[in-house]
Amino acid sequence: MDNTLVPEVLQMIGQVIPEGVSIAISDGKQYTYYKPSEAIDLKIEPGDLVPVGSATHKALEIKGKVAHHVESRVFGIPYYGVSIPVIMQGRIEGYITAIYSPQMMPMAIPEPPRPPFLIGRDENGWLPIPMNEIMYISSNEGKTQLHTANGAYTNKYNMAELENLLAPGQFIRCHRSYFVNLEAIRFIHPHFHSTFILEMKDKQKSRVPVSQSYASTFRQLLGF
């Protein structure tokens, strides 16, 4: 969105946004404006790329309005976001997102239940695998695998479904094809173009990539 349009957009929404709500405006790729509130501050800076999993990114994907509970894996703190496209002369010029703290959500949204284990399958059958035994999860050609110290097991869920099942304080998505258990990371190696390679605590010292799309969120969540 052209920055000259920002004052006009803010004027349009100013009287309908309640006090204590932060506002972010995006041009479709990056944030161009951010106003934090006393209730919640995601520490967004103009020029920051829109992260995968955010309310703004969800609206970008569908090119429409979303009302979405976003877990702490995206910005380090949870929030409730309402994001809508800004349409002028029949064209989407950008997206504006109202950011609510969990305590002041427009509607109370219960946290989804978190299973204590995931089911893995091998040639012998099915095995309940406790979450803390899963070191990382990978997906290749539509096949999801749970990696443990004792081997890898197939799981029925895809990565999008797992994102709603995994506890955000325990697992983090670091690549479109990987989740990692934070407690199973042995070492973080710098890699090309501000990305990383994670060395895991299994005997094989498995290496898991952190892609550029997730690197910023990964660093913010882990605090380095």
Range scoring the smallest mean pLDDT among 38-52, 63-77, 94-108, 113-127? 94-108
Joined tokens for residue 168: 């955000």
CA–CA separation, 179 vs 136, rounded Å? 6
Specify the pTM: 0.56
In this predicted structure, the answer to whether residue 133 has a pLDDT above a threshold of 90 is yes
Tens of pLDDT, residues 189-211: 988 877 899 999 999 999 999 99
Residues of the chain above pLDDT 90, percent:
45
Domain extents for the chain? Answer: 3-104, 117-222
pLDDT at 20: 85
**3-104 in CATH: which number?**
3.30.450.20
CA–CA separation, 213 vs 174, rounded Å? 8
CA–CA separation, 27 vs 128, rounded Å? 45
Check if CATH label 2.40.50.40 holds for domain 117-222: yes
